[in-house]
Amino acid sequence: NAGVTQTPKFQVLKTGQSMTLQCAQDMNHNSMYWYRQDPGMGLRLIYYSASEGTTDKGEVPNGYNVSRLNKREFSLRLESAAPSQTSVYFCASTQLAGGGETQYFGPGTRLLVL
């Protein structure tokens, strides 16, 4: 039981390049989330998917797109990377959104945009 997995672990991009961050969970959770974490800023929600087939914007969605590929997988795409998107990206999942359900986090993807 791997929990939440993310790929890649590290990535360096040049401004304007695109990439997709992959996330998968094997806990049969309904809800999945993408956060970014910057120094001194805590975790900020980019997009989330409360259930398979739905996606919604979070606090900082600009410059990102998401796809809930199936119940297990939730990807985050940067179409044209900018230095401001240098950050650590965490994916999380929970059985049922809302109600204080524990969120389980992946190990993170460290992204540097030059």
Partner 1 sequence: GQSLEQPSEVTAVEGAIVQINCTYQTSGFYGLSWYQQHDGGAPTFLSYNALDGLEETGRFSSFLSRSDSYGYLLLQELQMKDSASYFCAVSSTDSTLTFGKGTMLLVSP
Contact residues: partner 1, CB under 8 A: 31, 33, 35, 40-45, 48, 50, 58-59, 90, 97-100, 102-108
We find the least distance from the C-beta atom of residue 59 to partner 1, in angstroms, to be: 8
For residues 47 and 56, the answer to whether their CB atoms sit within 8 Å is: yes
Closest C-alpha to 2, from 79, 109, 107, 96:
107
We find the least distance from the C-beta atom of residue 98 to partner 1, in angstroms, to be: 4
Of 40 and 53, CB closest to partner 1: 40
Of 19 and 45, CB closest to partner 1: 45
We find the least distance from the C-beta atom of residue 65 to partner 1, in angstroms, to be: 18
**Tokens at residue 28, please?**
């049969």
Of 41 and 69, CB closest to partner 1: 41
Cα–Cα distance between 21 and 40 in angstroms, integer?
A: 23
Of 51 and 67, CB closest to partner 1: 51
For residue 35, give every residue at least 6 positions away whose Cβ sits within 8 Å of its Cβ, in sequence order, or none. 43, 44, 45, 46, 58, 89, 90, 91, 92
